[in-house]
Amino acid sequence: MAPPFPRSEPRRRVHLAGSLPRSLAPDVAAGMRWVLDHAGSAQFSALPCDVDPNWIIDYLLSRAGSPGLEVAKPGDGSCYTAMPLYRVRGGRRLTVDDIALGRPREAVAAVAARREVGADLPVQISVPSSLDLAIFTVGMAQMPRVHAVFEQMIISEVVRISQRHSTEVTFQLESPAALCALHRVPTAARPATARLLAHQLARIITAAPRSARWTLHLCYGDLGHRALFQPSGLRPAVQVINALAARLRTVGFPVPAMHIPMAHGDQPPPASASAYVPLRDLARGVEVIAGCVDEGNPELSARALRHTEAALGQAVAGVGAACGHGRRTAEQTRLNLELAEHLAQTSRLPAGVR
pLDDT tens-digit map of 86-143: 999 999 999 999 999 999 999 999 999 999 999 999 999 999 999 999 999 999 999 9
Q: Which residue segments constitute the domains of the chain, with CATH numbers given?
A: 13-344 (3.20.20.210)
Instruction: Please say whether the beta carbons of 248 and 216 come within 8 A.
Output: no
pLDDT at 347: 65
Nearest alpha carbon to residue 106 among 55, 141, 35:
55
Instruction: Please say whether the beta carbons of 55 and 28 come within 8 A.
Output: no
3-state secondary structure of 184: helix
Band of pLDDT at residue 352, cut at 50, 70 and 90: very low
User: Phi/psi of residue 232, each to 5°?
Assistant: -100, 0
Q: What percent of the chain has pLDDT over 90?
A: 83
290-310 residues labelled b (16+ CB within 10 A) or e (exposed):
bbbbbbebbebbbbbbbbbbb
Nearest alpha carbon to residue 204 among 168, 251, 169, 242:
251
Band of pLDDT at residue 164, cut at 50, 70 and 90: very high
Mean pLDDT within 208-233: 87
Is the pTM higher than 0.85? The answer reads yes
Query: Is the confidence at residue 19, as pLDDT, over 70?
Result: yes
Cα–Cα dist 187/217, whole Å: 23
pLDDT at 348: 58
Mean pLDDT within 177-183: 93
Mean pLDDT within 183-201: 96
pLDDT at 226: 81
Per-residue pLDDT tens digits for 257-306:
999 999 888 889 999 999 999 999 999 999 999 999 999 999 999 999 99
Residue 117 neighbours by CB distance under 10 Å: 17
Cα–Cα dist 105/266, whole Å: 33
pLDDT at 351: 44
pLDDT at 5: 35
Report which DSSP code applies to 64.
G
- With vertex at residue 95, the alpha carbon angle to CA 93 and CA 101, rounded to the nearest 5 degrees, is 145
Q: What percent of the chain has pLDDT over 70?
A: 95
Query: Is the confidence at residue 350, as pLDDT, over 70?
Result: no
Per-residue pLDDT tens digits for 41-96:
999 999 988 877 788 899 999 999 999 999 999 999 888 889 999 999 999 999 99
pLDDT at 7: 36
